[in-house]
Structure 1
Amino acid sequence: TRIAVMKFKNPPVNSLSLEFLTEFVISLEKLENDKSIRGVILTSERPGIFSAGLDLMEMYGRNPAHYAEYWKAVQELWLRLYLSNLTLISAINGASPAGGCLMALTCDYRIMADNPKYTIGLNESLLGIVAPFWLKDNYVNTIGHRAAERALQLGTLFPPAEALKVGLVDEVVPEDQVHSKARSVMAKWFTIPDHSRQLTKSMMRKATADNLIKQREADIQNFTSFISRDSIQKSLHVYLEKLKQKKG
């Protein structure tokens, strides 16, 4: 079929730990070097949660060198996905906040399960942190400046119908049809010659990606100094305690 399926498996909520990010990029690279593969479907092995996003434990109570290494891996994930020559389709079969939304935003096409419990969006502001400029650019390119500005400030998580309305996802389908729909959409994308589609994709995305590539080191330093602040560590502590209580 020339399609690979990458299923996220990092229990309990597919958070983007340093190990997950590293393995993911290696797996994607292997697929890109495999001439028999033209497209990849990104999905979760565990229906109900696509990915809860960045692993807060990587950003809390660690040293600056660790924060820098972690942020570089987050940048790398986004760049590799955003600039991939493969056709990427996300089959969003669960909740997709923050880093989950980041992965979906890099794809060429997004299909979401029609379940009002599942939401998608960049909710960083609710945790007292800020989405990086390059992810903001990706969001603006997807849903437009005004919608992105409002959603980023409020940390909005959109249920499927609203995500479709703002253009954050391309299609909403019954939960049991997410994967079959992803395959049929992929078949449509495969009717386009790879070289012309890839050059077009690169032309559309290069400026946004270059914006990060030019400022990678500065972005890592900004993140490291921001996340190391006492006030930010305190707000992460409060949030993590809330999560513990929920589990308890």
Structure 2
Amino acid sequence: MNRPPVNSLNTEHLEQLHRALVRLENEKCRGMILSSSSPTVFSAGLDIREMYKPELEKARKFWRTLQDMWLKLYSTPYPTVAAIHGHAPAGGCLLALSCEYRVIVPNVKIGLNETQLGIVAPQWFQDCMRNVIGERQAEKALIAGHMFNTEQALQVGLVDEVAADKAACIARAEAFLASQANLPLLARKTVKLGFRNSTLSRLMTGREADTKIFIEYIFQPKVQKGIELYLQSLSKKSG
């Protein structure tokens, strides 16, 4: 990912990710490492500006594009690994959870922290975390909007291993892909999608309802006020 400064996911960036995933699948990709050009951030998540005073159709397109990208990432027939050498809140955590394997570096924070921002993580975000760390741990983390540090993430199984630095993180990601290289492709794909089918189906059969919930939520005056205050706080930090 290369959208400075923090790989925030706006409509354009989501479209780029989706096109890349489609291309990799068409080219019979044998494995993908999802990483970041930023030295400190994997992805800061959804671009909050896409949700501030939006036009209806633009907001709808933004959410549909996010759905498209996630469906493609979560259902890849080839192995995927997230090399998390920077912070991964909210949508950044979703990207990592959507991969099959996760390698992280020290001193990183990762989690679905939407609750802390006054936002509710969509059901399919929640499903991704539940599938990785289990029902009870996911419930506690999602209610609190908890951001796990590196050690906590490893302890609960949110990540699979810790690497010393970015270079080691990429090397361990490559090692995971190498460990999958000799597995029969059809059998591997069938097992993977068997585990992920119910999560994928929940969104595929409920896309319109999910979009409707998002639209109704972000157009609430109190939500818009919260987004405005958050953007103001970001502006003060940058200033």
**Is TM more than 0.5 here?**
yes
CA offset at residue 43 of structure 1?
0.1
Determine whether 1:45 maps to 2:45. no
Determine whether 1:68 maps to 2:52. no
Alignment of 1:1-248 (within 5 A): 8-35=1-28, 37-114=29-106, 116=107, 118-175=108-165, 176-248=167-239
For residues 17 and 203 of structure 2, the distance between their equivalents in structure 1, rounded to whole angstroms, comes to 20
- Which one-letter code corresponds to 1:231 in the other structure? K
Structure 2 counterpart SS, 1:21: helix
Q: Spell out, residue by residue over 1:27-53, the C-alpha distance to the aligned partner (whole angstroms, 9 max, x if none).
A: 111111113x20000000112110000
Structure 2 counterpart SS, 1:73: helix
CA offset at residue 191 of structure 1?
2.4
For residues 25 and 104 of structure 1, the distance between their equivalents in structure 2, rounded to whole angstroms, comes to 15
For residues 177 and 154 of structure 1, the distance between their equivalents in structure 2, rounded to whole angstroms, comes to 32
For residues 72 and 20 of structure 1, the distance between their equivalents in structure 2, rounded to whole angstroms, comes to 13
Kindly report structure 1 stretches of 4+ aligned residues shifted beyond 6 Å. Answer: none
Aligned pair count reads 238
- Which one-letter code corresponds to 2:162 in the other structure? V
For residues 140 and 46 of structure 1, the distance between their equivalents in structure 2, rounded to whole angstroms, comes to 28
Structure 2 counterpart SS, 1:131: coil
CA offset at residue 67 of structure 1?
1.3
Q: CA RMSD in A?
A: 0.8
Structure 2 counterpart SS, 1:86: coil
For residues 158 and 71 of structure 2, the distance between their equivalents in structure 1, rounded to whole angstroms, comes to 19
The alignment's TM-score, normalised by the length of structure 1, stands at 0.94
For residues 158 and 76 of structure 2, the distance between their equivalents in structure 1, rounded to whole angstroms, comes to 20
For residues 113 and 69 of structure 2, the distance between their equivalents in structure 1, rounded to whole angstroms, comes to 19
CA offset at residue 213 of structure 1?
0.6
For residues 129 and 204 of structure 1, the distance between their equivalents in structure 2, rounded to whole angstroms, comes to 28
Q: Spell out, residue by residue over 1:103-143, the C-alpha distance to the aligned partner (whole angstroms, 9 max, x if none).
A: 001101000012x2x10000011111110001111111111
For residues 86 and 104 of structure 1, the distance between their equivalents in structure 2, rounded to whole angstroms, comes to 15
Gap runs ≥5 in structure 2: none
The equivalent of 1:4 in structure 2 is: none
- Which one-letter code corresponds to 2:157 in the other structure? G
For residues 65 and 133 of structure 2, the distance between their equivalents in structure 1, rounded to whole angstroms, comes to 26
CA offset at residue 247 of structure 1?
1.0
Structure 1 counterpart SS, 2:53: coil
For residues 80 and 213 of structure 2, the distance between their equivalents in structure 1, rounded to whole angstroms, comes to 30
For residues 94 and 39 of structure 1, the distance between their equivalents in structure 2, rounded to whole angstroms, comes to 21
Structure 2 counterpart SS, 1:111: strand
CA offset at residue 86 of structure 1?
1.3
The equivalent of 1:3 in structure 2 is: none
Q: Spell out, residue by residue over 1:136-155, the C-alpha distance to the aligned partner (whole angstroms, 9 max, x if none).
A: 11111111111111111111
